[in-house]
DNA sequence: TTGAAAGCGCTAACAC
DNA sequence: GTGTTAGCGCTTTCAA
């Protein structure tokens, strides 16, 4: 049972194990050249005293904090917790600690976060805000801290970028709807100042054009990537004289808002309205009806981001334009889509008007 | 524009501002005795060079890491993100950093987390696992690190405890159901090795007894505080010859599972079955139908926990039995409860059989 | 292979 | 009020 464990330091261990502090240090860091006899003595004392090395001292002398920053936009958005979980788990496996910041989309918080991270001398930062706050990150770039972005990273040394292939999943979604005979398909985008939101919208537009479906521009409305935004957006769509029979949403939270609004209006999903989300948050499979959605794996995203940082750290000479990674998306079929209402099975070769 | 900002240290600042490092330190730490003239010179250089003091060095010499640990059981459970958010926000306001760990209810992870926290010399730890992993925290106690628990904290110096008043909210829930003429009321508990789960169940039992309602023991089943657990538990309840007309759940995730299962079975909520949750996660108001639930404010919980830690740190001599805090719970009415099915309005003074 | 000693960047006596 | 200086607990040369 360790006694007075809180005032143990490497000198105390050295003294009790009758070796130098250097040997204690080597032992603890598993330097193979240490005489097993001595190592054993050291470990015994370490265990007996419950000695845990002081990370700040180590960081100070080694110049490595073993901390990565992780900046997300909203921890309360169910999209992010899994990212945090996976990122943290991998970090711990690599003996890294995470400094997490949820900015709530507030530039001031972002600024403060960057300052805190520099003060703690983070070795890398993953930016998962899907936003464009590049300017706020100047200080980090200046210090040559490896950075990894989603979609929006500039081509610079030590900056990695995870490009999401929105097209693949969204094309699948659109074609699924088309196969279900929908042609009045609405789209609720995210806030369009986000590049990721803009990209999803473009993917929708292109996917529609590709198969010769017209997009009614009154059926493309801007949301906020929140439930509230989804509620409001469906409100707008329902006010249209010619309502959509299906809605594709820029994220799952928006889709949940759509479902909520439909429920309030007595519109049945999927009988009256098909809806498809984007992200595939874990909750998507449990909501009622279970949400058909385009999956963008949060776990994979976290993994890619962590590895990007680690790789950059190991690189002797960084690529002048940074490194690119790609994350696929794909459709996951569940319960929220159905054949267009009023569709009657027609004889083969014939189409309804 | 800061140049070579990454190799700036306090000596460099001192040299350029033509003062000693002590004066730079005092200036940065806003010690009021510094001559404003000099302070101005220091600040100018600091800004110009983009100098950010090194936290590990500060921590090392001051003996204060300015880090709090936060141990939660599952970041992907929507109950926790808001706690994390609020805890972190307050921490930053107080110039603290958070070391977050989501244990996934794995004792090994808990152990590792404790070790990591000690190595980083956290000044306090909030334990939000609602569990009983006390043994694993021995090392922290030994080092006299202030700890704050929910429900399960032992009466010891430097250990604070936030007691949840489960009874109040659950009594309201039971009486609400009774007022709606339900008397076959089921209860889906959490995993009963959690003291919090046990306490909620007891509160249910007592609240029923209080108003003379019998509890059918086959209607009290154990869940897991997850959606999957809720699904399974309702399955069991539905297998009973005499089904409940209302179900009270130990948390909102369980209630979501119940709703999911009911949906699959074609049981309408609230028409056929009333359900009440516990926690009031933010999502509760958005699910379909919106969930009537017992609120236990996550924001308040986070605030209490943070303040408990801070208070303990400031206390010169700790109370020998620690400190207690109390958090109230109360019912929030929404859409998931209704008058018992088949109830006919009876003339005043008369009751249905 | 091991130990002595310098020093990481900062704070806080202590002396001026 | 300001500067000098001794460490905080560790790692890492460098010599032995």
**What residues have CB less than 8 Å from B181, skipping those under 6 apart?**
B339, B340, B343, B352
Question: Nucleotides of chain C within 7 Å of a protein C-beta?
Answer: 1-5, 7-13
Query: For position A327, what pLDDT does the model report?
Result: 98
Domain co-membership, B159 together with B77:
yes
Same domain, A285 and A302: no
Note the pLDDT of residue A291: 98
User: Are B76 and A85 a contacting pair at CB < 8 A?
Assistant: yes
- A349 within some domain: no
**What pLDDT sits at residue B343?**
72
pLDDT tens digits for B203-253?
Answer: 999 999 999 999 999 999 999 999 999 999 999 999 999 999 999 999 999
**B116: chain A residues, CB-CB within 8 Å:** 92, 97
Burial A203-221 (b: 16+ CB within 10 A, else e): bbbebbeeeebebeeebbb
Q: How far apart are CA B73 and CA A138, in angstroms?
A: 36
Question: Minimal CA–CA distance to A299: which of B310, B75, B60, B305?
Answer: B75
pLDDT at position A4 is 52
* Boundaries of domain holding B101: 67-164+298-328
Question: Per-residue pLDDT averaged across B56-69, rounded?
Answer: 96
Its pTM surpasses 0.85:
yes
User: How large is the angle between the packed helices B79-93 and B298-314, nearest 10 degrees?
Assistant: 40
Residues A19 and A104 in one domain: no
Please enumerate in sequence order all residues whose Cβ is within 8 A of that of A227, keeping only pairs 6 or more positions apart, or say none: A253, A254, A256, A257, A260, B286
Q: Is residue B333 part of a domain?
A: no
Whole-number Å distance between alpha carbons of A141 and A136: 10
- Per-residue DSSP letter, A335: S
pLDDT, residue B130, reads: 86
DSSP state of A29: T
Instruction: Determine the pLDDT at residue B164.
Output: 96
Whether residue B338 is contained in a domain is answered as: no
- In a domain, residue A342? The reply is no
Q: Taking all residues of chain B, what is their mean pLDDT, rounded to a whole number?
A: 93
Q: C-alpha A340: how far from its chain's center?
A: 33
Give the residue from B18, B78, B7, B80 showing the smallest Cα distance to B45.
B18
| Whether residues B29 and B143 fall in one domain | no
Which residues of chain A make contact with B80, given a CB cutoff of 8 A? 81
Q: Which of A64, A257, A286, A289 to mutate to test the interface with B (most CBs of B within 10 A)?
A: A286
Same-domain status, B145 and B240: no
The verdict on B266 and B185 lying in the same domain is: yes
Q: Is there a contact between A112 and B101 if contact means CB atoms under 8 Å apart?
A: no
Question: Alpha carbon of A299 to those of A80, A85, A144, A290: distances in Å?
Answer: 10, 8, 27, 21
What was the pLDDT predicted at B346?
A: 54
Q: Is there a single domain that holds both residue A171 and residue A292?
A: yes
Q: How many domains does chain B have?
A: 3
Predicted local confidence at residue A154, as pLDDT: 86
A139 found inside a domain: yes
**How high is the pLDDT of residue A352?**
41
- Using alpha carbons, list the distances in angstroms from residue B93 to A22, B4, B57, B288: 40, 29, 21, 37
Place B5 in a pLDDT band, splitting at 50, 70 and 90. low
Protein residue nearest nucleotide C8, by CA to C1': A61
Residue B347 lies inside a defined structural domain of this protein:
no
pLDDT of residue B180: 97
Give CA–CA dist B302/B300, Å, rounded: 5
CB–CB of B60 and A60 under 8 A? Answer: yes
- Phi first, then psi, for residue A224 (nearest 5°) are -135, 10
Amino acid A296: pLDDT: 98
Exposure of A122 in the CB half-sphere (CA atoms within 13 A): 28
pLDDT at A221: 98
A322 within domain boundaries: yes
Q: With 50 as the cut, is the pLDDT of residue B258 above it?
A: yes
How far is residue A140's CA from residue A133's CA, in Å, rounded to a whole number?
A: 12
**Domain contains A338:** no
Q: Residue B49 maps to which CATH number?
A: 1.10.260.40
Q: Which pLDDT belongs to residue B349?
A: 45
Residues B22, B45: one domain?
yes
Judge contact between A88 and A47, C-beta under 8 A.
no
Question: Of all nucleotides in the shown strands, which has a C1' nearest the CA of A51?
Answer: D9
Backbone angles phi, psi at B97, to 5 degrees: -110, 155
User: Are B304 and B265 part of one and the same domain?
Assistant: no
A214 and A284 share a domain?
Answer: yes
Mean pLDDT of B30-43: 94
Q: At what angle do helices A21-28 and A10-17 cross, to 10 degrees?
A: 100
User: 3-state DSSP: chain B helix, strand, coil percent, rounded to 5?
Assistant: 45, 15, 40
Report the C-alpha gap between B57 and B68 in whole angstroms: 18
Residues B154 and B194 in one domain: no
C-alpha–C-alpha distance, residues B210 and A175, integer Å? 59
Q: For residue B57, which of B90, B33, B101, B24 has the smallest C-alpha distance?
A: B24
Q: Is the pLDDT of residue B8 over 90?
A: no
Specify the CATH number for the domain of residue B259.
Answer: 3.40.50.2300
Span B285-295, average pLDDT: 96
Residues lower than pLDDT 50 in chain A: 1-3, 349-353
Interface of A with B in 213-252 (CB under 8 A): 227
- Residues B229-243: pLDDT tens digits? 999 999 999 999 999
- Which residue places its CA closest to the C1' of nucleotide C3? A20
- In this complex, the residue of B5, B81, B288 whose CB is nearest that of residue A143 is B5
State the nearest residue by CA to the C1' of C6: A61
Tell me the pLDDT tens digit for each residue of B119-162.
999 999 999 998 777 788 889 988 999 999 999 888 899 999 99
Which of residues A32, A62, A92 is at a domain's end? A62
Whether A229 and A257 share a structural domain: yes
Please say which residue of B296, B311, B336 terminates a domain. B296
Contacts of A353 (CB under 8 A, 6+ apart): none
Predicted pLDDT of residue A162: 97
Question: What pLDDT, on the 0 to 100 scale, is given for residue A251?
Answer: 97
CA distance A201 to chain B (A): 25
Whether B54 contacts chain A with CB within 8 A: yes
Q: Is the pLDDT of residue B85 over 50?
A: yes
**Per-residue confidence (pLDDT) for residue A310, from 0 to 100:** 97
């Amino acid at each position: 049972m360790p006694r007075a464990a809180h005032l143990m330091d490497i000198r105390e261990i050295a003294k009790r194990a009758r070796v130098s502090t250097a040997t204690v240090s080597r032992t603890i860091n598993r330097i193979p050249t240490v005489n097993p006899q001595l190592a054993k003595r050291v470990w015994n004392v370490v265990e007996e005293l419950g000695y845990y090395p002081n990370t700040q001292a180590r960081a100070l002398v080694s110049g490595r904090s073993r901390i990565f920053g992780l900046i997300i936009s909203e921890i309360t958005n169910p999209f992010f917790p899994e990212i945090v979980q996976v990122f943290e788990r991998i970090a711990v496996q690599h003996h890294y600690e995470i400094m997490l910041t949820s900015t709530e989309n507030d530039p001031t918080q972002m600024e403060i976060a960057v300052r805190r991270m520099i003060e703690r001398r983070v070795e890398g930062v993953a930016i998962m805000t899907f936003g464009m706050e590049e300017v706020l990150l100047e200080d980090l770039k200046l210090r040559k801290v490896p950075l990894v972005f989603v979609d929006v990273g500039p081509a610079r040394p030590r900056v990695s970028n995870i490009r999401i292939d929105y097209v693949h999943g969204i094309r699948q979604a659109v074609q699924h709807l088309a196969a279900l005979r929908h042609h009045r398909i609405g789209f609720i985008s995210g806030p369009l100042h986000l590049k990721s939101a803009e990209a999803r919208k473009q993917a929708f537009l292109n996917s529609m054009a590709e198969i010769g479906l017209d997009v009614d521009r009154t059926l493309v409305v801007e949301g906020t990537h929140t439930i509230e935004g989804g509620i409001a957006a469906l409100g707008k769509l329902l006010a249209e004289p010619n309502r959509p029979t299906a809605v594709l949403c820029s994220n799952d939270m928006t889709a949940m808002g759509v479902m909520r609004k439909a429920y309030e209006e007595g519109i049945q999903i999927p009988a009256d309205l098909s809806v498809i989300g984007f992200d595939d948050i874990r909750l998507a499979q449990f909501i009622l009806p279970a949400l058909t959605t385009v999956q963008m794996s949060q776990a994979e995203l976290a993994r890619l981001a962590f590895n990007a940082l680690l790789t950059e750290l190991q690189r002797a000479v960084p690529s002048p334009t940074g490194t690119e990674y790609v994350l696929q998306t794909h459709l996951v079929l569940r319960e929220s889509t159905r054949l267009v209402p009023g569709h009657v099975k027609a004889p083969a070769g014939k189409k309804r008007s």
